[in-house]
Amino acid sequence: MSSKTTPDGTTLGLLALIVTQAACSAFFLYDAVADIIADGMAAFNDVLLHVEMVATLSMILAVILEGRFLVRLLRRNAHAERGLSIASGALHDLMEQYFHEWGLTPSEADVATFAIKGLDIAEIAEVRGTAEGTVKTHLNAIYRKSGTSGRGALLGLLVDDLLAQPLIERKEPPKDMPKASGLA
Amino acid sequence: MKNVKVWDPLVRIFHWSLVICFISNALITDPESQLHRQIGYVVAGLVAFRIIWGFIGSRHARFHDFPPSISGSVGQLSDMATGRKRIHVGHTPLGALMIYNLIVTLIGIAITGYMMTTLRFWGIEWVKELHEICVTWAEFSVVAHIAAVIWESRRTGVNLPKAMVTGSKTLPTEV
């Protein structure tokens, strides 16, 4: 639960890639802008400038996509429990999907994960370094956005979905997810 | 809310003197001028002072208080990704990396800048190139530094720019 654990190779590799590409694209961007400032519109007659700009823009796009992937990876690692069984992996995917569907903020998704895992308000507040009042506010937002009445209903929603399909075929997420009615 | 004394006066004077010198030489002074050189020497002096102060200074000014830490940095990124608030009284792990980056870059700028004033290296292209690359990198880093300070201030609710002026961080009491 603590973020003090040693980061795994994937995270570090991805981080190194992002930093390198960000630094390179910053230089290429600077170079292209300097060319345009120096030569004005005439700079665009140079084919090389166009190639450079396409390369730079696609690298910036790659950095953004990698950044988003890194955020997902960090969240997943922050929530991972020892021994990722099929069940916990499937539950995690399902949770992420619902959180996205409901439009939870990163903080709310974090609180929701802990709530589903059974931590009480004081424990969640401690793990997240926030006040208990803040956690209560997050929980209210979670119940409102998910249309559930409380922690039990929230958990029921997930368990229902999890039991409705075989665990092995968890590659295909449920296409028609109910728009959060207060079932369970 | 409680106030915690974090930055000693010398750290703050160093920081803002460096800001003034860097802006002057990066944006205002003529690179060929005597003034540009003199400000360059001041920057070199400031960095040298900061390195010494990193060993003998007050608690949060020492390098020992903010060692470069990959796991700490990934932890801070995880906090950002999950919206958690772990309050760092001194430098945050990512902030620490930025400090080391800026110190190294400024040393690079000072050395290549000085080389251009010597007979041996004056007019040699790669020295000038390296000087400019370091400056560009420093400018990029400064923009990233400012953006990160604003971002982290908003995320954690601790006004970091104010702390670098008054020397005290106002931390939420429940932490």
* Burial of A86: CB neighbours in 10 Å, binned 0-12, 13-18, 19+: exposed
Q: Which residues of A touch B2 (CB under 8 A)?
A: none
Best mutation target, B84, B135, B156, B158, to test chain A (most A CBs within 10 A): B84
Q: Is the pLDDT of residue B118 over 60?
A: yes
Confidence at residue B142, expressed as pLDDT on a 0 to 100 scale: 96
Query: For residue A181, what pLDDT is reported?
Result: 45
Q: Can you give the pLDDT at residue A174?
A: 52
On whether any CB of chain B is under 8 Å from the CB of A97, the answer is: no
Confidence at residue A184, expressed as pLDDT on a 0 to 100 scale:
38
Query: Nearest-CA residue of chain A relative to B93?
Result: A4
- % of chain B surpassing 70 pLDDT: 98
The pLDDT tens digits of the residues spanning B132-147 come to 999 989 999 999 999 9
Contact A30 B140 (CB under 8 A): yes
Q: Mean pLDDT in chain B? A: 92
Q: What percent of chain A has pLDDT over 90?
A: 26
Average pLDDT in chain A: 80
Closest CA to B80 of B141, B152, B147: B152
User: Could you tell me how many CB contacts below 8 A there are between chain A and chain B?
Assistant: 74
The SS3 call for residue A149 is coil
Q: Judge if ipTM > 0.85.
A: no
pTM: 0.78
> With bands split at pLDDT 50, 70 and 90, how would you rate the model's confidence at A162?
confident
Is a pLDDT exceeding 50 seen at residue A183?
no
Q: Looking up tokens 């604003």, which residue turns up?
A: B150
| Residue A1: band (very low, low, confident or very high) from pLDDT cuts 50, 70, 90 | very low
Specify whether the CB–CB gap between B65 and B59 falls below 8 A: yes
| B contact set with A (CB within 8 A) | 70-72, 74-79, 81-87, 133, 136-137, 140, 172, 174-175
Lowest mean pLDDT among A40-44, A127-131, A142-146, B54-58: A40-44
Give me the mean pLDDT over the B146-171 stretch.
92
Helices (H) and strands (E) in chain A, counts: 7, 0
